[in-house]
Amino acid sequence: MGSAILAIFGSSVILANGFKQGVFMDLLAILRIAIRALTRNKMRSLLTMLGIIIGVGAVIATVGVGQGAQQQVQDQIASMGTNLLYVSAGSVNKGGIRLGGGATKTLVDDDMKAILQEVPTISEAAPGAGASAQVVADNQNWYTRVTGTEPQYFDIRNWNFAQGTNFTQDDVTRATNVVVLGATVQQNLFGNANPVGQTVRIGTLPFQVVGVLVPKGQSGLGQDQDDGVYVPISTLQKKITGQDWLQYIMASATSQPASYAAQGQITSLLRDRHRIRSGQDDDFTVRNLADVAQLADQSSKVMTLLLASIAGVSLIVGGIGIMNIMLVSVTERTREIGIRIAIGATESDVLRQFLSESVVLSLAGGVAGIVFGVASAITITRVFGWNILISPTAVAAAVVFSMAVGIFFGFYPARKAALLDPIEALRFE
Amino acid sequence: MATLAQVEINLQELEQSATPEGAVPVIQVENVHKFYDLGETKVHALRGVDLKIEPGEFVAIMGSSGSGKSTFMNMLGCLDKPSSGRYLLEGADVSQLEKKDLAAVRNGKLGFVFQGFNLLSRTTALENVELPTLYARMEKAARLARAREVLEMVGLGDRTDHFPSQLSGGQQQRVAIARALANRPSILLADEPTGNLDSRTSVEIMQIFQELNDRGLTIVLVTHEPDVAQFAKRIVVFRDGKIRHDDPVRKRPRAADVLATLPAVDE
């Protein structure tokens, strides 16, 4: 740590008349003197350090919270599926009246087949349409989302089965009454019992449970992804909703760069198929989840930065506290400084002495602040259940920054001490 | 309190530090002037001072306040520079050195003893004495050995771990003398060293000075007490920024003898 400071003052000078000086006093002696001077006013040193402790602690805790949130967002986005493109039915404009998203009936199963055939970078695709319905099992019932899709849907979303199996393509072809339950639905209808093979009613129709999904938790938008049931798309369309259009198509690209190319290709393909003339709005939306991920990532980064800079302000206030107390200390010890100069301390000796005091103050405060920050981060995790991520980089930055605060705010008082006139200083009462 | 019998001077050490250098005076001051510019008024504190001090001398500087003796001492102590004129310390001109170089001179060639002792409080006697060696960048072991050695010289070998507040005025001043000797200086500068002490302790301190001087150490002492000045070999009197008298002391009393005639202190 001291090497930078020493590089400034450590120049060795041999005078013409043979007086040698410059090879700096040993670091341990300087440190010992600084620590002793600080422990002389324990309360004062502690209060001064408190500014730095709170500052560093706040930075560590907020950055921890911010990075934890960032990690969580990334995990959630990853949980939605990899390299995912989400094609949803769009809004429609009829004579100036615009209807909301999902209002169009133009997105159909053939669109999905065309995408799979004509966009080479799309490896898999699954349709999606849904309705909400009351699901009943024995004396339990639960109002939930019913999604119609095809078996590969779970593969695209990296979603595994906790119990039972997926429904099959054959089930889709024959529009059988089979259902896959989300974990939340399973909990509410069956508790801990195994529902596979049991029968549930969706609306009035009986369905056989074939599988239960692994819990996925909340989505990036705060939705419970486990609150839903899945049936073959054909079953939904023919027996539940009676509608033959889709609400969305989920497609998986072979890689993330490919997903961007695929996005454009899908757009032009669908415009073609839906006979949309140039100049007209799309009647669908293609969203790349990589964009969503990036956006979420960026917003949490900005949030972290904002929090950290607010906390950083308190660190600067702490630094001003150090400067203040060092100025008081220099005035109080004017006589001591005079004695030291008379005995042969050079300007840089005195400068170094006071600078090391402020650095010891801020560094000790920094270390205590890290402990305080980590402790409060752990408390936050316990109390609020937030994810906290304390990176070694943040800790190292806190140490370096608190030392820099000590040097920056300690320099002016130390220089003031070094430039004292010894004659005046010795007369000081 | 330490008795005088405990005051033992280490012969060899002092002889090393005060080797006579032939004809080169320890201090040679030539036509030194000092002006202070206080805005509107200009103070002419020293008006052409010439002084030569040979190795082994013991000079007392006297004068009323405002006579320029303090200014002169500060200049001798390299705490201040003359406005004009030359100041040769052991033949080397130090009157126009840089601050940093003056610090090295103060550290290595000069020893200071002040009226108010000026020890660092809450710092032990040993650490106070160690201070100049610290600034001389000596090794830790050598520093401690040297500090112990000079404390022995002033008879405080058994008080190394005492804080100034635990020592009497005379003992504190002896610690200050030890500190002044720590880097084996060419010259000891004492500014009213007995000013804060009772008369018996003053004589004890003068006894130490006389013994140090007997071993060859050059001493310059500022005092306004004629009794104290009598223990020196030579008295220089300042008035109005000039030297008015410069006379050797005839029939110089020995502090040890004087001490014997003083009534013992009731403990």
User: Which residues in chain B have their CB less than 8 angstroms from residue A344's CB?
Assistant: 103-104, 106-108, 132, 135-136, 183
**B13 part of a folded domain:** no
**B180 part of a folded domain:** yes
For residue A322, what are its two tokens? 């150090």
**B2 part of a folded domain:** no
The angle at the Cα of A22, spanning A20 to A23, to the nearest 5 degrees, equals 100
Read off the pLDDT band of B97 (50, 70, 90). Answer: confident
Q: Which helix (H) or strand (E) holds B24?
A: none
Q: Do B118 and A349 touch (CB under 8 A)?
A: no
DSSP category for residue B59: E
Q: Do B120 and A17 touch (CB under 8 A)?
A: no
Q: What is the percent of chain A where pLDDT is above 70?
A: 89
Q: Do A344 and B80 touch (CB under 8 A)?
A: no
Instruction: Round to whole Å and give the CA distance between B123 and B120.
Output: 6
φ, ψ of residue B149 to 5 degrees: the values are -60, -45
The amino acid at residue A303 is M
Read off the pLDDT band of A255 (50, 70, 90). Answer: confident
Instruction: Round to whole Å and give the CA distance between A216 and A139.
Output: 27
Instruction: Round to whole Å and give the CA distance between A113 and A102.
Output: 20
User: Which residues in chain A have their CB less than 8 angstroms from residue B122's CB?
Assistant: 40
> Best interface-test mutation with A: which of B73, B75, B99, B184 has the largest number of A CBs within 10 A?
B99
The amino acid at residue B261 is T
| pLDDT given at position B230 | 92
Instruction: Round to whole Å and give the CA distance between A246 and A150.
Output: 12
**B132 part of a folded domain:** yes
Q: Do B100 and A341 touch (CB under 8 A)?
A: no
Q: Which of A19, A345, A346 sits opposite B108 (nearest CB)?
A: A19
Burial class (CB in 10 A: 0-12, 13-18, 19+), A389: middle
Q: Do A343 and B179 touch (CB under 8 A)?
A: yes
Q: Do A344 and B79 touch (CB under 8 A)?
A: no
CB A75, CB A390: distance < 8 Å? no
Give whole-number Cα distances, A428 to A323, A425, B114, B128, in Å. 22, 5, 13, 20
SS (H, E, C) A45-94: HHHHHHHHHHHHHHHHHHHHHHHHHHHHHHHHHHHHCCCEEEEEECCEEE
- Over residues A65-120, the pLDDT tens digits come to 888 888 877 777 777 766 888 888 876 666 666 666 566 778 888 888 898 888 88
Q: When comparing pLDDT for A422 and A94, which is higher?
A: A422
| pLDDT given at position A102 | 60
For residue A261, what are its two tokens? 């190319």
**B266 part of a folded domain:** no
- Over residues A4-15, the pLDDT tens digits come to 433 333 333 333
C-alpha gyration radius of chain B: 18
List the beta bridge partners of residue B191: B222
**B143 part of a folded domain:** yes
User: Which residues in chain A have their CB less than 8 angstroms from residue B132's CB?
Assistant: 343-344
CB B219, CB B205: distance < 8 Å? no
Q: When comparing pLDDT for A393 and B265, which is higher?
A: A393
50-79 of B, contacting A, C-beta below 8 A: 74, 77, 79
Residues in chain B: 267
Cβ-based contacts under 8 A for chains A and B? 78
Instruction: Round to whole Å and give the CA distance between A336 and B119.
Output: 8
Least Cα distance to A252 among A122, A126, A160, A157 occurs for A122
Q: Which of A29, A344, A348 sits opposite B106 (nearest CB)?
A: A344
Could you please report the per-residue DSSP string of A187-230? HHHHTTS--TT-EEEETTEEEEEEEEEPP--B-TTS-BTTSEEE
Neighbours of B194 (CB within 10 A): 26
> Best interface-test mutation with B: which of A339, A351, A352 has the largest number of B CBs within 10 A?
A339
User: Which residues in chain B have their CB less than 8 angstroms from residue A39's CB?
Assistant: none
- Over residues A327-347, the pLDDT tens digits come to 999 999 999 999 999 998 999
Q: When comparing pLDDT for A3 and B100, which is higher?
A: B100
Least Cα distance to B233 among B5, B15, B54 occurs for B54
SS3 assignment, position A255: coil
**Residue A86: alpha-carbon gap to chain centroid:** 23
Instruction: Round to whole Å and give the CA distance between A81 and A154.
Output: 9
Q: Do B105 and A40 touch (CB under 8 A)?
A: no
List the beta bridge partners of residue A208: A178, A199
List the beta bridge partners of residue B246: B236
User: Which residues in chain B have their CB less than 8 angstroms from residue A350's CB?
Assistant: none
Q: Do A21 and B79 touch (CB under 8 A)?
A: no
**B42 part of a folded domain:** yes
Q: Do A344 and B108 touch (CB under 8 A)?
A: yes
User: For position B114, which CATH number holds?
Assistant: 3.40.50.300
Is the CB of B104 inside 8 Å of chain A's CB atoms? yes
| pLDDT given at position A70 | 81
Instruction: Round to whole Å and give the CA distance between B50 and B25.
Output: 13
The C-alpha of A332 sits at a distance from chain B's nearest C-alpha, in angstroms, of 13
Task: Please state, rounded to an integer, the average pLDDT across all residues of chain B.
Answer: 86
Dihedral angle, C-alpha B72, B77, B80, B86, nearest 10 °: 70
Q: At what angle do helices A289-332 and A347-384 cross, to 10 degrees?
A: 140
| pLDDT given at position B265 | 62
DSSP category for residue A237: I
User: Which residues in chain A have their CB less than 8 angstroms from residue B100's CB?
Assistant: 13, 21, 346-348
Residue numbers of the domain that contains B183: 24-261
Q: Which helix (H) or strand (E) holds B173?
A: helix B169-181
Is the CB of B80 inside 8 Å of chain A's CB atoms? yes
Interface predicted TM-score (ipTM) of this complex, two decimals: 0.85
Q: How far apart are the first and last CA of chain B?
A: 9
CB A135, CB A142: distance < 8 Å? yes
**Residue A312: alpha-carbon gap to chain centroid:** 19
Q: Which of B79, B120, B137 sits opposite A25 (nearest CB)?
A: B137
**B118: closest chain A residue by CA:** A339
Instruction: Round to whole Å and give the CA distance between B173 and B155.
Output: 12
Q: How many domains does chain B have?
A: 1
Is the CB of B132 inside 8 Å of chain A's CB atoms? yes
**B3 part of a folded domain:** no
CB B196, CB B225: distance < 8 Å? no
| pLDDT given at position A64 | 86
- Over residues B113-160, the pLDDT tens digits come to 988 888 988 889 999 999 999 888 888 889 999 999 999 988 888 988
The C-alpha of B261 sits at a distance from chain A's nearest C-alpha, in angstroms, of 36
| pLDDT given at position A296 | 77
pTM score: 0.69
Q: Which of A24, A26, A342 sits opposite B79 (nearest CB)?
A: A342
